[in-house]
Chains A and B, each alone.
Chain A
Amino acid sequence: MSDLTTRKAAPILDIANVSKVFDRNGSSILALKDVNLQIQKGEFVCLIGASGCGKSTLLRIMGGFESASSGVARMYFAPIEEPSPERGMVFQDYGLFPWLTVRQNIAFGPKQRGLSEIQIREVSDHYLNMVGLDKFADYFPGQLSGGMKQRVSIARVLANDCEVLLMDEPFGALDALTREALQQELLDIWEKTALTVVFVTHAVEEAVFLADRVVVMTAGPGRVELDYKVPLDRPRCITEPEFNRVRQHLTEMLSSHVAHRKTA
């Protein structure tokens, strides 16, 4: 984290010495230990690591769904205490409201903010169009494919003017083709907006394709092992040799840390 001193702007998200202890069946598990992480406005950051490394827990702390046992998570210097519209979460299992249509799901946030019917209509039209679901506006989530559902859940947090997009393995349950399409769409949306994205994944290729920075986490207890700036220009192409080199480099680091932990 040597380049930390060179940054001037305040981080949008600041994770300072965060630890998290879970009490399960009487025994306590240290899920995160002294995690420090700063995320700048507009950055695309991927959290990567094996299962159980606490990457989802860290994301949930950023979202306000969990509280840190010690240390503090801040957004613009204000401690994060509860879920809030400015930090939109996209869950792997979508979390859509099955009784609302696609349009109503997208309109859910704007409705909470008390916008007028006309404004809500405009906002939902705009985001339906952005994720290409105009024709499916009156469908229920149960009638959609996984990829479409995930588009809806992205659209509904965007419709609520979120500044930070927190994504918890959002494309993990999708087939390869849909995943690639959605990765590209996500990048397009990110480039069009001033969004900051924190994206949890366990796929190295996905992380290298998407992220400005890849944060590698290791388990037992979960901590940040490495903060790696992806040295590739955009748009990236996964078949380029340079891309492959970065991917291999990152894979090696990831597995060496895992191996190191096993022998230790």
Chain B
Amino acid sequence: MLLDFAFGGIYDDAFSESLGIHWIRSVSRVYAAFAMAAIVGIPLGLLIGKEPFIRRLVDPTLQMLRPVPVTAWLPLSMIFFGVGPKAAVFLVFLGAFFPIVINTTFGVKSVEGRLFEAAAMLGCKGASMFRQVVLPAAMPSIFNGLRLGHGIAWFLIVVGEMTGVPEGLGAAIMDGRMLSRTDVVISGMIVIGFTGFMTDRFLVLLNNRILKWNPQHNV
């Protein structure tokens, strides 16, 4: 069944050989949205963590939005972006964005004061302090945020693709449900699980490379 879904030749129906295109669509949406979430989330988190003024300005809004389940954004995102893949991408972006920004903020805020003193005493100043102390010290938290965000991204792509998106793993699962093709549903779930797992392994690999110094953070 998974074989037919992937390569065709057994049932030769609408689902046969379609896994590739579904997979490509979902993967590109997830990574595009995830990358955007990281590109916006990490700098914003660094700013919120470092600048009390920006924290006061932005943090209450973020904390208020955070408890709202991202799936509740689905109707709104359809109004914003129309029925289609853009709404799904927005959903994924939003879902990945929160853990990334919040963990980055936490990472910056919890940098030991002692390290700033040590750096200052060794002649490190201003922007250089940010690059040489804040960023590396916050790196473990940033990675936590990325891994959490990545998991949520896969979770949301399926939700996002379930309505009004023709191609994508979520769409395939939804179609499978409506046509009572439980095998397609299960195949879709397996593929998502496996892809998510592989990406997470990649993040872990990156994590272990960059955070070689931190024994608690090698997973």
Contacts and interface: CB of A to CB of B under 8 A. Distances in A.
Interface of A: 63-65, 82-85, 87-89, 91, 93, 95-101, 108-109, 112-113, 140-143, 156-157, 160
Nearest to A139: B213
Contacts of B122: 85, 88, 108-109, 112, 156-157, 160
Contact of A97 (B118, B123, B211): B118
A95 B111 CA distance: 12
Contacts of A143: 215
B114 interface: yes
A88 B118 CA distance: 9
Given A99-B214, A140-B212, A140-B213, A109 B123 contact: yes
Interface in B180-219: 211-215
A142 B121 contact: no
B124 interface: yes
A82 B119 CA distance: 12
Most A C-beta atoms less than 10 A away, residue of B122, B124, B132, B137? B122
A99 B121 contact: no
B122 to A, nearest CB: 4
For the complex of A and B, the 8 pairs showing the least CB-CB separation, nearest first, are A95-B118, A112-B123, A109-B122, A140-B213, A83-B121, A83-B120, A99-B136, A85-B123
Contacts of A142: 213-215
Given A108-B124, A112-B123, A113-B123, A96 B214 contact: no
B117 A95 contact: yes
B118 A96 contact: yes
Contact of A98 (B119, B128, B214): B214
Contacts of B137: 99
A202 to B, nearest CB: 20
B139 interface: yes
B124 A112 contact: yes
Given A112-B128, A140-B213, A89 B123 contact: no
Contacts of A82: 120
